[in-house]
Each structure stands twice: as C-alpha cells, then as structure tokens.
Structure 1
Amino acid sequence: MPLENPNLEGYQVVRNTWLKFYNGSKKTFIAPKKCSGCYNDEKFVVWSISVAAQAVVDGARLYKELVPLVEPAIDIFQKYKNKHLKGYSAAENNGNDKDIYYDDDAQVASAMITAYEVTGNKKFLDQGRELVRFLMGGWNENPKAVNKGGMKWHINNPYLNSCTTAETAKACLQISKFIPDEEKVYVDFAANCIDWQIKKLQDKGDKLIMDGVQDTDPNVNTVKISYNTGTTLSAAAHLYHITKDKKWKDIADELAKAGINRNVFFYDRDYDNSLRYWRDSSYFVQLLIEGLADYLLFVPDAPEDLPAKIEEEIKRHMIMFYEYMRDEKDGLYLQSFEPHLTFKDVYETKYVKEFGGKKKWDLKGEDKDGDKPIKCLMGCGAAARIFFQGARVIPKVEY
C-alpha cells in the first residue's frame, strides 16, 4: 500500500512504538531486547527518550487520543535528572550523575516546551524553563579559549558543536513566546548562538554547517551532518519570524537552498542526480525536515522557486523512507536512510529495480542483531517525526 497520509502514518508509528517499548510498571521505555540506544540491557539513553517523547507530543497535537500519553512520556525525563545541576544525564541516576550533554538536554527541553504547548500543563513549561536556563549556562566563557563563544557539548567537554548551539537556540526561541517578561533574554541568546554558528561553523562554499571545534583548537571538524544544517535553519527562520531582521532571512535562505542541493556532503552522490538522497540516519534527517518545514512556515517571502523544490525533496524522501525502511509486520522502521541498507527482500525487489543494484545489500550496524534486523526506540520516534514534520509541507502524498 503506498504512502498517502503522512500524519496518519506518524500516528500509527507512535501507537506501535508505545505498545512495543513503553512499560507501565516501570514507567519508562524498555527494550524487549538490547538494541541501539541502550546503555544497559534494557534502558535507553536520554537522547533516545527525547526523540520518542517528542514524537508522542507531535502526534498528540493532531490526534487527541494520544494526549494521555504525553504526561507519562515527559515524566520519564525525571529519572535522568541531576537534581543539583538541573540538567539531565545520559542515563537514569540517583540525582547526582554528571554525564550531561547539552545537545541531548536541548532536545529534552524542546519536548517539554511543546508538551506544554499541546496540553497547557504548566508543569511542562516550568520544567522547560528551568532546563533552558541550565542550557544557557553552557555558553563557552573560557577567557583562555582560542575559540570564544559557542555552546559546549558536555558539561566537562568544551567541544563547541553546532548541534548543541543550534538546538539550544531553538529551545530558547520556543519558550520565548510563553514567558513575555523574559522573551528578550531568550531571543538575544538565540541570536548570539546563530551568529556564532554562521561565523565559526558555516562552510562559506556550500553553506552547510560543520560539526564543531574544540575551544583550544583552531581546526574545525569539517564533517557536515544533516541535522546541523536543519537545526540552524529552524533557529534562523524563527529569528526572522520574531525580529523581521532581513539578516536572518538571508541566512535561512542560504541554509534552505543548501539543504536540498543534491551535490552537498550529506547526499549520497554515488548515484545520478535524480536518485541522490540524504544518507544520514533517520534521527538526523528528521531535524533537517523539521528545519525545512520551519523555513516554509516562518519565511513566507522565500525565493520564488525554493518552496516548490523543498516540497518535492521532502515528498520523495518520505516516499523512499516509507517504501524501504518500513517493516510491514509491525509497522515500525529501521534507522537507515540508505536504500541498500534495508530488509533483504526489500533490497531484492525494490532496490535492484530502482537503483540497479549499484551497492551490495547489508543492514546498518545500528539496525541489526547479528544478521537480523532490529528496531530501536530512537529510530521509531524519528520515523514518526519524519512523517509528522513532512506532513507540515506535504499533508497528502500523491505518486
């Protein structure tokens, strides 16, 4: 059956994910069998929880029957909280663990803030505000740093990376509209984040966002993952919407064009132009799609041909993901976005026909248990978000 309604597909993924992974007695997501994203035999790192919880919230915005799942999903985060620092650790802990990553926590904050937006439960707003204030404390103020500014990756590692900086900016902008008395503080902080991002980490050639730089090292890590561009695009577009400063529009225009340029780093360029696709895992791609959707929402005066090109790119990627990575048995998804790294029968029937068998079959390492495919929490949450975010642009798919 072809993909027709991306929102409905997202709903089905959330429902099936909840049934497979949520354990009511332990009040958290539990892996039936150890899989990608687990830090022990059954429990998931907070990054995985954040993606799954965000998918629940995205679904609840559209399907009211999912609203009762929002509170138990967001409440899981409290198991990860350092009660003294007010940040959230990678693993469940007794309130004192310091293995805290600012990029993970920015996604946690985003889930909390959107949970408030969807439910009106002020508890989530209070949690989100507290966490955003914690995040803002991660700005690099080391006077001896070669690279000034930028958000740290980990509380004990001043690697200044783009995902942390842009995701913190996103969280600040999300919460700014709900706390008017503090709006300027959040918007100004977000503006500083994206200013730093563009000056320090944007490739001046292809306009993509590079990964990061150590505070004491002049050499930038030039890897360009899709979500770095996607999250920066979200923040820049939102800044333009709030401030109406053309500077942010110009940045957003550049990033949106770069994100759908089939000649850039995160496309698989081993194929002819018409077959090229975003090759990152789904949990990265979902944030690029969100960035492109935010761009179309917040920048109504986009260059004339760009919206149509964005729509086409999101549409064809949703179709490819649905046709190649969906398991018909349980309606859940692999994390791969590369059509040869899929179920063997799909490879043999679809990939060989569409892509000519150019690459050999395999399963992505994070998608297999031995030689068998296995689904994980973050991959399923990311899949739901791909359809929910994509549906903001393409609510109905026509082949």
Structure 2
Amino acid sequence: MQALQVSNPALEGYRVLQQLWLIFFNPRYNNFIGPEPKCSGTYGDENRFNVWSAAVAGQAVMDGARIYPQEMGPLVDPTVKALYQYKNHGLKGYSVSNNRDGDIYYDDDAQVQFAFINAYEVTQNKEYLDASRELTLYLLGGWNNDPSAKTKGGILWHRDKPYLSAISNTETALACLRTAKFIPNEKDFFVGSAAKIMDWVLENLLDKEDNLIVDGVGKDQDISQRNGMKWTYNTGTALNAAALLYEHTGDEKWAKVAHDLAAAAVDRNRSIFCRDYGEMERRYYRDPSYFIQLLFEGFADYLLVFGDKAPPQIAEAIKLETARHLLFFRKYLFDPTDGLYFQMFEAYKISPDHHKLYCEEFGDSKGFEANNEERAASGDGPLEQKPLVKTLIGTASAARIWFQAARILPQGA
C-alpha cells in the first residue's frame, strides 16, 4: 500500500462526480434514477433513489461546483429541483420517496439542508437560502417535547418513531450553524438552538470513557438503555458542530469538545477502527463510505476553524489518517471496469477478488461474505451470485471523500 500514491484529490472527486451525473441523473425524470440491475437505495418500477441518496448526491454536486464553478455550476439548479420533488408541502419536510407522504427522517432532511445551504453559498441564489431556512426550522420542530418521555429533549430520528439518534441531533445542529452564517439577524437564534442540541448530545450520547458518540436512545428509555454502537459519522458530525460553535461563539468550551472528539476519532485503539488486528498499521475505519465522508468533512472543518490553534499532534494525526484511508479507498474499493468505487470499507465483503486482494496484506483471518449493499437488489438466487452494482449514495460519497480530502491534503497522499 505504501507504494501507491494518490495525487490531486479534487480532480479525482471531479472525475467521479462527472461519472455520477452521466450514470445516475435522468433528464426524463429530472432526478436520480438507478440503472439496471436494481441497486440498494432505489424504490418503485422507475428505480428512483430515496431522498438520502439524492441528498448526498446533492452535497457532492455542491462540493464540485465550489471548486469547479464553470464545469459543475450548471448542475446545481437541476440538483436542487430534483430534491424539491421529495417535499411534503404541508409538513415542510422531505419524504423518503417522491410520494411526499409522512415518512420523513430528520437526519435525511438535514442532509437535504446541507445541499441547499451549500447551493446558496456557491450561487448566491436566495431561493436556495429560503429553502434552507425553511427546512432548518422544520428540523428544529423535531425536538422531543413529550412530557412522559424518560429521556427528555433531543431531536427525533423520524417524525413517527421514538428514537433519538445522534445523527439527527448533530446534523440538525450543523444545519442551524450553517444557516446562521448567512442570516445575521437570526444568528443568535440558530446558534443558540445548535448549542442546546449539542449540550443534549454531550449529556446523553457522549461516552466519557473514550470521547466517542454513541448512536442514540429511545425517548421511552433511560440512558442506561442507549444504543452503544459507535459509527464514524456520529463523532464526525459532532466534531463538525463543535468546531462551528466555537467559530460562532469563541467559547473555549466548544474548542475543548472539538479537540477531544478529534483526538478520539484518530485514535486507532477506539472502536470506530477495525481492531481485529494487533498491528496498528492494519487498523482502518470499518464503516461504509457514506458515513466516512461526514467524518472527513468534520476533519476538514475542524482544521479550517482552528488552523494553527489545533493541537499539532491532532492536526498531524488527521492528515495521516486521511492519507492512509485515501490509499486504502483507492486500492481496495476502486473498480477499474467503470472507474467508480464500491462503498464498504470492509472490502473483504465485496467480492472474492476483493477478498483475495485484501488477504494479501491483512491475512486470511476474515472469510468472504457478500454484502447486500454491493449486490443487485433484485433477482433470485444466493446473494453472492447476484451481480455487483454501484449505488448513487456510494458514488456520491466517493466524490465527497475526495473533495473533502482535498481540503485536508490538497497535494494528495
């Protein structure tokens, strides 16, 4: 792996985004449509993608338009209009499907908001800012005010489900902070809302033993019953929100939170790394790319906010982990047959060929087991015999990994 080099991450992000648009955006529907065979994240006979997939694609488009405005700028408005197709106009939220029903997840909608606010940033089109503000207010309406709840407060995961997820909270905080940047007369409201949410996260979902964020808790449960699973994106978005809270307020409390979360996120003894190997150089993040892209964005924003104020050992560790994972991503998840990327960093689950390549460096302690997200979502027969496919969310996340890495390591790894 050390012999492999990756230069110009931004250009690789551009190349992947260009492929994404050609393969997944269908002008007939003015939206993202899956090709055959059917892949995960699609629904209906038309193979439309769910709003989460479309939102991550939207963020990738905005990343690209920021760096390559002439080439990718024309994709901004079609992308925003595609996301509008999921809007439930009565509720002001965005549904999982274009049925526009009440099946609405607050974390999905936060990622739609990210696409909208970034679209405004790169175009200054006030329509996008208005859409972003409206959606941010909808997200804040997800606050748990149930007087009978065992766990009070927190943003719900879904409007009809009792779970209080870390990701719905940290992403709503981020939506508030990104909106505050562009609406000065409402800055105090949005920053204050973000601080309230993040205080709830730190009180209820921070594991004080390792400074990682756990997944969530039901509002009808107490904290002792919380879901202790630790994903990269929960800590990554919390890090991002803490850094932006410090940027907005100058409060050293948020600087300490950000430094602690960043240090935990690059510690290979922490459970967000695959710790099945004793050798530290064999430990990598184990999550799919659509989680890791948000961790990379958290790293990039952290370094942007703190600059020389970031503890040097943390800043260097972030650059090292970013470089290591770019090399891993390119070697194990890149598909030369179409120039796209698979999405599971547990690369031994992609195909027998990937398993063989993986074993050459990591040994054969892990057997091959096909992951359904890398296989066709239709057809009969055993999973491992179904064809390999690429997804919109995986392709968009690949572009975002490269674009965010370019902010950390502009010269590559």
Q: Normalising by structure 1, what TM-score?
A: 0.96
8 A Cα contact 1:324 1:342, kept in partner? no
Q: Kindly provide the CA deviation profile for residues 90-123 of structure 1, in whole angstroms up to 9, marking residues without a partner as x.
A: 0002x5x100111100010111000100111111
Say which of 389, 392, 398 aligns to 2:404.
Answer: 389
Alignment correspondent of 2:97 = 91
Report 1:16-31 matches (<5 A).
Answer: 16-31=19-34
- Give, in angstroms, the shift of residue 343 of structure 1: 4.4
- Give, in angstroms, the shift of residue 56 of structure 1: 0.7
Distance change in 2, residues 1:380/1:275 (3 Å) = same
Alignment correspondent of 2:175 = 171
Q: Kindly provide the CA deviation profile for residues 209-242 of structure 1, in whole angstroms up to 9, marking residues without a partner as x.
A: 0111111111211111110000000000010111
Report 1:1-399 matches (<5 A).
Answer: 2-33=5-36, 34-41=38-45, 42-64=47-69, 65-93=71-99, 95=100, 97-218=101-222, 219-271=225-277, 272-300=279-307, 301-348=309-356, 350-369=357-376, 370=383, 371=385, 372-398=387-413
Q: Distance in 2 between matches of 1:112 and 1:240?
A: 23
Instruction: Write the letter of the residue equivalent to 2:8.
Output: N
Q: Distance in 1 between matches of 2:5 and 2:48?
A: 34
| DSSP-derived class of the 1:213 partner | strand
Q: Distance in 2 between matches of 1:352 and 1:361?
A: 10
Q: Kindly provide the CA deviation profile for residues 171-229 of structure 1, in whole angstroms up to 9, marking residues without a partner as x.
A: 11001011111110000000011110001000010110011111111121111111000
| DSSP-derived class of the 1:305 partner | helix
- Give, in angstroms, the shift of residue 339 of structure 1: 2.9
Instruction: Write the letter of the residue equivalent to 1:265.
Output: S
Q: Distance in 1 between matches of 2:369 and 2:219?
A: 38
Instruction: Write the letter of the residue equivalent to 1:59.
Output: G
- Give, in angstroms, the shift of residue 352 of structure 1: 2.8
- Give, in angstroms, the shift of residue 364 of structure 1: 2.1
- Give, in angstroms, the shift of residue 50 of structure 1: 0.3
Task: Please provide the CA RMSD for this pair.
Answer: 1.3
Q: Distance in 2 between matches of 1:6 and 1:362?
A: 31
Q: Distance in 2 between matches of 1:172 and 1:19?
A: 33
- Give, in angstroms, the shift of residue 40 of structure 1: 2.5
Q: Distance in 2 between matches of 1:91 and 1:339?
A: 30
Q: Distance in 2 between matches of 1:333 and 1:237?
A: 30
8 A Cα contact 1:140 1:149, kept in partner? yes
- Give, in angstroms, the shift of residue 158 of structure 1: 2.7
- Give, in angstroms, the shift of residue 346 of structure 1: 4.1
Identity percentage over the alignment? Answer: 48
Instruction: Write the letter of the residue equivalent to 2:120.
Output: Y
Q: Distance in 2 between matches of 1:108 and 1:376?
A: 18
Q: Distance in 2 between matches of 1:128 and 1:174?
A: 9
Provide the aligned length of Structure 1 versus Structure 2: 395
Q: Higher mean Cα deviation, 38-47 or 304-313?
A: 38-47
Q: Distance in 1 between matches of 2:389 and 2:219?
A: 38
| DSSP-derived class of the 2:93 partner | coil
Q: Higher mean Cα deviation, 109-118 or 362-371?
A: 362-371
Q: Distance in 1 between matches of 2:163 and 2:276?
A: 32
Q: Kindly provide the CA deviation profile for residues 256-306 of structure 1, in whole angstroms up to 9, marking residues without a partner as x.
A: 011111111221111121110000111001111111111111123122311
Q: Distance in 2 between matches of 1:146 and 1:338?
A: 36
Q: Distance in 1 between matches of 2:272 and 2:399?
A: 21
Q: Kindly provide the CA deviation profile for residues 295-345 of structure 1, in whole angstroms up to 9, marking residues without a partner as x.
A: 111123122311011100011101101111111121111111123233443
User: Runs of at least 4 residues of structure 1 off by over 6 A?
Assistant: none
Q: Distance in 2 between matches of 1:392 and 1:116?
A: 20
Instruction: Write the letter of the residue equivalent to 1:296.
Output: L
Instruction: Write the letter of the residue equivalent to 2:14.
Output: Y
Q: Normalising by structure 2, what TM-score?
A: 0.93
